[in-house]
Structure 1
Amino acid sequence: DELTYTLTFTNSGNAVGAVDFTDHLANVLDDAEVTAQPVSSHASVTASAVTDERVVVSGTLAPAQTVTVSYTVTVAPDGQRGDDVLGNYLVRGDAAPPTQCLDGDVDCTVNPVPEIVDSKSADPVSGSSVAAGQTVTYTLSFRNDGAAAGVFARDDVLTGVLDDADLVGEPTVDGDGDMATKLVDDRLVVTGSLDPGASATVSYSVVIRPFAQQSDHVLGNVLVRAGGEPPATCEPPEGEDADCTVHPVGEIAATKSVDPASTTAVEQGDVLTYTLTFHNTGAGAATVDYLDRMGDVLDDATLTRSARASVDALELEFSGDVLSIGGRLEAGETATVTYSVTVMAYDRQGNHVLGNYLGLSNQSPTGMCADGSALCTTNPIQVPPPLAITGGTIGFGAIAAGLIAIILGGVLLVARRRREAGEPAERDGEDGAL
């Protein structure tokens, strides 16, 4: 605001009178700046420029003559003032000014100034990385640190938020004063009034869209004076309340591959190496929270090389037939996890298919690997061929001849043993006769 001060000098006597006054501006200039120097309405009275926070007025007045001296100040912006009270004292000569302006005193003026302090915060805090589906709650705070009641109007510029997220519900108002909100295009218009020392807040929430439905993957929000333009970047001055927030959106793109490639038939004893790849395609850090379900692999194969991560940021935990992968990757960062299995002997296998499923920890596998899916692999296991027989094919006739030979050999062996058993008796008979 601009304030124009007018000093009025009138000679109510019957003779020429001297004018010698000093206007003290110390308590004005701590809150305002002179924008129009003092000007006298008549040459008989002169007024100095503002020097050392004073205006010196001198000259003479004829009987019944009135002369005025005027100048203008402009109130400094919020946060750049002193005590938010413009006090002005006119005294004779070099007299000291009073310490306060009493009611009815025509030689002083007092104008209190409101100071509306606004700020903006968010949950999670500004600078935090967020993800698709997450809710971000914004809070606009207003308080009057000044000496007078103040009316204000602010625009919360949501252009950089609503290109990536959707408003949820209506804004809520809490605190002192008379407050109102209205969404106009991509701006939340907030108007209200606050008494000295009063405060109020406005809160609202947004939900981040799926990554593919976002624009620049950064939620940028700025609170400005009504009609004001937001700055190009969010850089709150040090020591001052922030009027802007920034939330980069992270996104993990996960893929799974196997060597030999998925759908390739394998045999017992073959070694397969699996690779899980995690790439952060977003603008902010992102959380890795995946499960690699290996149940349909380990019923047909044995883990022969344990899982290893390419970066320390990933944490691996194997429980039962599930490998848990957790951690956090910065924007643009890529990490891999590898392990190997060896196919069991065919008669020890389960369903003879190596099926492997990678997915978010809160999602269940579909039970089948869709064509072209980057999150699963399938490798059928071939039936092993029959054992080979050395020396060629043995016919039925040869087998029968062999069996007959074995039987005949057995008969001859029994007959011989009987003959040999009878000879000693005959010799004994002969000896008896002798």
Structure 2
Amino acid sequence: MSRFLAGAAVLALLLGSALLASTPSQAVAERSGGLPAAAGAPEPGEVVFLEDFQNVPAGQARAYQSGAGGRAAYVSAYPGYSGYTYTGSAGWVNGVRCNGVILSQASVTTPAWATTGNANAPQYSCGLDDGVQSWSFGRLLALAMGQQFGGSTGNFVYTSFSECNHTTTDGGTCPAVPAGERDGVLWQTTTPIPLPGPNRYMAFGVDTAALCGAASQNPRYQFAYRVPGAPTWASLGQPVEACSTAQSSSTEHHERTYPLTSATTNGTTWAAFEGQSRTVALNRLSPDEVVKLAGGWLEVKMYNATTATMGNDGAFDNVRALDVTPRLDKAFAPSVVSDGETSTLRLTVTNTDELNAKTDWNLTDRLPGGLRATGVNSTTCLAASGAAGSSAAVTAAAGAEEVVVRGSLAKAQASCTIDVQVKAWDDTLGTGVGVYTNGPDSFTPGTSTPACWDGIAHGLCGLEAPGEATLTVLPVVDLSITKEADVASYAAGEQVVYTVTVSNAASTAAKPVTTAQDVTITDPVPARVTEPTWTCASTGGATCGVAGGTGDVADTVTIPPGGSVVYVVTGRVAADDLDVEDITNVARATPPAELLLPPNPGSPAPAIPFQVVDPGCPPGQGCEASVTTPRAELTVLKSADPEPGRALGRGDVVTYTLTFDHSGTAPVTVDSTDDLRGVLDDARFGTLLDAGGLTVTGPRDDLLRITGTISADTQVVYTVVVKTVERGDNLLRNVVVAGPQPPGPDDPCVPGLCTEHPVRYLHVEKLSADGSVRLGGAEFVLRADDDGAPGAALTTPALTTVAGETGLFVTGGIEAGTYWLEETHAPDGYQLLANAVRFEIGAGGAVTLVEPPADVRSIAVSTTDGVSTISVTDRRAFVMPLVGGRGSAAIWISGGLLLTAAACLVVLRRSTILSPTTSSGRARTGRR
């Protein structure tokens, strides 16, 4: 590959690693080229440098001798994929001795410089002559490396074979190839490698293959590093043993055995070695130490710690430098809390998968505005020294707005955590509702931040920055609802008053409460409670949606902390309700599912929706209060005959019945008062028809007292008779109440407990012409009104003569309405009313004539003691006297007299002026 990231991808493929995905709610760091990993799950380090030696045409080879001009030529002869070039110590880049040769199993053709007699290497041979098969064994190492770690026959390796001097005849020498950091350099970068940033933990790795022999002759690979310009190199850890099976936990060891035949080695010719076998030791090596690099650049080399004489038959591949800086993750647990609750900010430091110790990292995390530490902290991380049993230094006192941590990861420790309890709160506004985001930009140094490895205080030192963690603080409303009835039990016809109170608790620092907006209040009034009305009143800054209404309560209100709304619902149990079941009334308050609030307390930013929390009155579900009222064991109902509202005439009898309904099983005490003060001013007490087994006393002071004990239903029945004279207000109003105290004058007349009968009747009189004498012998009839015309004759009420009174008629109780008065028989010698007279009776008993006919001789209306009288005045009929015999003279005289009388009637006819509105009710008359 041609670029650094391509090399990283190759290594990822070789390692066969899969990066772990995080859970959706977890704020995580992210390694380049991969998915977010879960906090606490180690990942491979990030490859910042990889050399896999694949930048060679297939089937060819490269070495020092591939170019002219010595070492400089070698440097330019092999550029890696990433554009880097390399160098090494003279003996270890000598291809004639099979050192520094880049080849693959497919590199069949041996270069000229690898053959004995080459001009550039007269004494050594990496070739195939004289039974020496070093070239072929190098190809075998490449084959094994490719089959084990990927690449197959096309995999190139870098050899360190150290072939000895030999000639075409037996004999020769094997000069040593030096070892060590200065003269044993197998491979070294010539240009600095850039790192992701300063203050990083770095580790190195390499894949090796070796034909093992004596332990002292096996290759031992040692990494060394320096920052650019440094005068010396620092070795990292101990040399890695290419043939040892006792490797560090971060090293893979494998062995592959090959019969030396053309078939098993992909066509290699083995000559004298044909039929033998060789075992290749394979290792994917990683040192057990990391280095802390303060700067952002790196130089690296690998040298052999074994001096080469015989043996050292090895090769290596995939030289890599890895950024193994631990990853920092942030999360709030829980990530959603109610206002006033605490959450825990968990900082997780996750090691990379080689699990080396990572000491002396630090962080300074500045909390979002409004979020503070409570002083409750804990950690599983080690101190900066990394000493076993120690604990990281965590600085986050109560009220602190930043968290400072300095600590370490132990070797083999996958992760450690720092837990800091936090709480959102604004002292002025008394709330912490908001959204608090703690992300990678919050790491800023403070006064207590320790310096990092480069001598500078950073917000984050030796750690990979995390992603964002968000804490959401939800508003809390604390609604409660109560409901009461003003009676412990109900009775038919009685009033019931319900009181519903909905409150929002007061807000405190320990338990903050938010204003509850758009709270819906419902109270479906039971059907048995009739004609309900309601009012709403508020306290503590609460607001009602409406001041009141009729029917069921349905309102939307706002209740701040400490406020309340109070509904008073008034209704009445129907008078004819004899149901014995309880009456249950249920009211409900439902807070809103969301509130629009600033994203943080006091923020000028546009409001955003927050889910509402109410532990006792869940939004969307609400809370309810109910009151159940049982039926009273004793219910008193009043009825009357005639039925209430019917008009009464004088002398009419009203029968009152008090029904005592016993709904229990045990005897019940009766103590009632029947108030006759509104009756006996217009009537006299008649007869007690039935005491129902109770004691009935009175009437005394116009009150009838009913007392005693009953075990079953019973009735008290009595009568009253309407007075003929000296009445009061012409209204019989009868009220029964419990106990000895009579009702007040302004108490309403409740059906079932109260009856009313108006006393309303009509007098009609027939008067002489001068109005001084009532005339006997007349007869009248009342007719109904038929759309403005006389209708059927009425029998109820009917006009009857008043006993002992001549010419005076009276109706029974007459209802308000329109009627016609017709004279059906006139007194002897008097004329009939020519036409029926139309009149109206008002609710108060007043009579008004409606368009009296023009030929009515005289009609007048008067009112005395609330009773109206229609007076009909008429003249005598004219009668011709009988004089002499029956001759014609008598006839002519009679006719003349009739004509004269008619003329007189025309000229002298008396006119009648009707005036029903005068105080006397009499019509004023006059002559034309």
Does the alignment reach a TM-score above 0.5?
Answer: no
TM-score under structure 1 length normalisation: 0.42
Compare CA radii of gyration and give the structure with the larger one: 2
Determine which structure has the larger strand proportion and give its number.
1
TM-score under structure 2 length normalisation: 0.22
